[in-house]
Structure 1
Amino acid sequence: MPVAQLLEQRFADAVAAFGDLPTPIILAVSGGGDSTALMYLAAQVVPREALVVVSVNHGLRAGATEEIAQVARQAHALGLTHHIEDWAWSGQGNLQAAAREGRWACLRRIAVAQGARWVWTGHTEDDQLETALMRLARGSGVDGLAGMSRRSLRDGLMIGRPLLGITRDDLREWLTGNGIGWSDDPSNDDPGFDRIRARQMLPQLAALGLTRKRLLQTVDHMQAARMSLQLAAQTFARDHVRQTAGDLLVSEAALELGGADVPRRVFAAAVCWVAGQTYRPRFVQLRKAADDARSGRTVTLGGVLISPEAAGSVRLTREAAATDETILTAGQEVIRWDHRWQIAGPFLPGMSVRALGEAVQDCPDWRATRLPRTTLLATPSVWQDGSLIAAPLAGLGNGWSARIVADFHSGAFPIED
């Protein structure tokens, strides 16, 4: 079979492995070779009216605008819908990390607006190798060395990586053979970035016997190990973590972070679930927070209050100050707030949903709920023109309801492939 035909078949097989795909599907396309190939290959196997191309302009390079304009022309020629999203760096924190988060926020915004459940990215086999090397250098454990999965869940959306088993060179050969142009980002050759240094190290490592094949074999072993550990964590969590309203009660056994992997995994997942975050806190921070809480101190970690309870257990509560306010627009009847809550009621434009905070004192029946005051501070409340309208969890319903739509035990330990 010709190389081009083989590559197309491998892509089609990867898409087929995703199963039945609800549409539309968001394609993240920057204009580079990998994402350009993703767009053209996807147009061969998915009905084109079901594909929505999104390009994010980070405003960091003068040439980015023309690169995205080229994507727009290519998408139009394919009959695909194309959106351009602008993102600007605040100047705070690590630029690359901020750009990644900003790009995801743009993709997620379009996905939600389009009613899409899938976002596809152009990650390749080369990206997998580079990721494994960078995480090895950081001393990552099983999850880090397992690299990226072909599909994973983030913020309620499925991320698909159908190019993960295809090399960057093969994709460029396919593009060239089909007369398809792409843009090369000059930063892809900048050794100031960790990923570029990892890329440049691969030939030297191969000379020592650490070939691409061996690295990918290690990633495969780590993915199998991660799956086993996730299954063990699910079982352990059923016995040692209890969900109540928006809180999690974690037993003393799940705070023993100095030994086995499973308690570490469960406690980290609990913090992430309450915070609505994807990435775990660093282990040193996680262990210190667990030790402090077990010593009788209330601590904060990543937007989560960790406070001591009876019998050596701890309560994980969302920190009210870490939540955002959501302004309601016309036509809304149900909204998602702070990642986990669904609020329904007689909304009017201009109303907002935010954490109840100290307004709990304006809810005369809050004690009857038998929920801790600190728990109620972070529950959703509805406001209009500065006045509290409803706080369903604090006994002030007024026609509104609020419930957690994310279940910790079923959702915190995904088995990815």
Structure 2
Amino acid sequence: MIATPPGTAEYEPLTAADAAVLFAPLAGEEALVVAVSGGPDSVALLALLAEWASRGRPRLLAVTVDHGLRPEAADEALMVARLCAGFGVEHRTKRWLGHKPQTGLQEKARAARYALLAEEARAFGAAAIVTAHTLDDQAETLLMRMAAGSGLAGLAGMAPRSSVNGVVLARPLLGVEKARLVATCKARELSFVRDPSNDDPRFARIRWRELLPELAQDGLTAERLGQLARRLARADEALDALAVRALATLPAGEEAGERWFDFARLCQEPEEIVIRGLALALAAAQDSDEEADVPLRLARIEDCAQALIAAAREGRALRRTLGGFRLSLAGDGVLTLSREGERRRGVHPATV
């Protein structure tokens, strides 16, 4: 359904000057793919990017993904195509074909969307995909990951710049409230579509979204949650750097396909650094990026690391398996990593 933006007088629309600051990190790109669903966030992103890029900046390709889940989606893609024509931006519609799962639908649809966007980015010669994730999205993500028991990396939320399917994923609006994007659409007299799935309480993200106004009444606003995510991202980055530095100082080696290092000496560091160091050592032993695409849960890494720490401090041997590896701790505190077999999984120290 196409809707006219509601009144948002209390929020100021984004200006060209705002856009110049937000999009500055993208100025060095030759070409960009812009994910445009037709909702207010992505329509505002499209309008602002088209205006910004018209001054000799990156070539733009807008891509709409039709997941084949709603009959209205085809008409919504046509609406986006008309908007793009008015902005002078090339537009393509990609369709998610094949079987649609009965469970985990949102997650599978998201994975399919990014795969299709990355495919178009490579075909267009673009090194980056730009999405319209907002401060509200970041707040929802943080709440969901808190409920899931995430570590610091998970609680850092979405990064302004990350990677998906081998392509840069840029989120320039991550610090902007959704209401300001709606106000931007209103100021520019742009219509947008409303996806009914955004009101479906079957999805966890929607249930958290409905709680945000109530949380905000007691001070837990999207802005505060976004600030928390940024601080946790900063702490996570610092701890990773300390873990890398600690690993670099250890006696270590590799022989006949096995890697070893002095785990007992690593145990002189704080427990968090030991856990991250173990995860980083396992990640370094992986053969390919594909292995690291299926990360272990943080709880499994913690459980293994804590068992190894206890054994190392008592001077006893211990064997565990983790991430497709056999971990053999000798009585002298040396830990050896060797392949467990064909079953392989990747690791990251703060994945959930």
Cα distance in 1 for residues equivalent to 2:182 and 2:296: 37
Tell me which amino acid in the other structure corresponds to 1:123. H
Tell me the secondary structure at the aligned position of residue 314 of structure 1: strand
The answer (yes or no) to whether the contact 1:125–1:163 under 8 Å persists in 2 is yes
Aligned equivalent of 1:35: 42
Question: Where do 5+ consecutive residues of structure 1 fail to align?
Answer: 324-338, 340-407
Tell me the secondary structure at the aligned position of residue 162 of structure 2: strand
The answer (yes or no) to whether the contact 2:11–2:183 under 8 Å persists in 1 is no
Aligned equivalent of 2:195: 185
Structure ranking higher on relative contact order (CA contacts 8 Å, 6+ apart): 2
User: 1:235-282 CA distances to partner (integer Å, 9 max, x unpaired)?
Assistant: 1343457689998656535996x9622232343345556262356421
- Under a length normalisation based on structure 2, what TM-score does the superposition of the two structures give? 0.77
Match of 1:281 among 289, 296, 300: 296
Aligned equivalent of 1:371: none
Tell me which amino acid in the other structure corresponds to 1:230. D
Cα shift at 1:52: 1.5
- Under a length normalisation based on structure 1, what TM-score does the superposition of the two structures give? 0.66
Tell me the secondary structure at the aligned position of residue 313 of structure 1: strand
2:104 matched to 1:82? no
Cα distance in 1 for residues equivalent to 2:74 and 2:338: 45
Count of aligned residue pairs for this structure pair: 321
Aligned equivalent of 1:198: 208
Tell me the secondary structure at the aligned position of residue 93 of structure 2: strand
Aligned equivalent of 2:278: 267
| 1:17-416 matched pairs, under 5 angstroms | 18=25, 20-47=27-54, 50-87=59-96, 88-89=98-99, 91=101, 94-239=104-249, 252=263, 260-271=271-282, 274=286, 276=289, 277-278=292-293, 280-287=295-302, 295-296=318-319, 299=321, 301=323, 304-306=324-326, 308=328, 312-315=334-337
Cα distance in 2 for residues equivalent to 1:143 and 1:237: 19
Compared CA separation, residues 220 and 49, structure 1 to 2 (3 A): closer
CA RMSD of superposed structures (Å): 3.6
Question: Where do 5+ consecutive residues of structure 2 fail to align?
Answer: 1-9, 309-316
Aligned equivalent of 2:313: none
Cα distance in 1 for residues equivalent to 2:232 and 2:204: 22
Cα shift at 1:32: 1.3
Cα shift at 1:321: 6.9
Cα shift at 1:154: 4.0
Cα distance in 2 for residues equivalent to 1:287 and 1:146: 19
Percent identical:
34
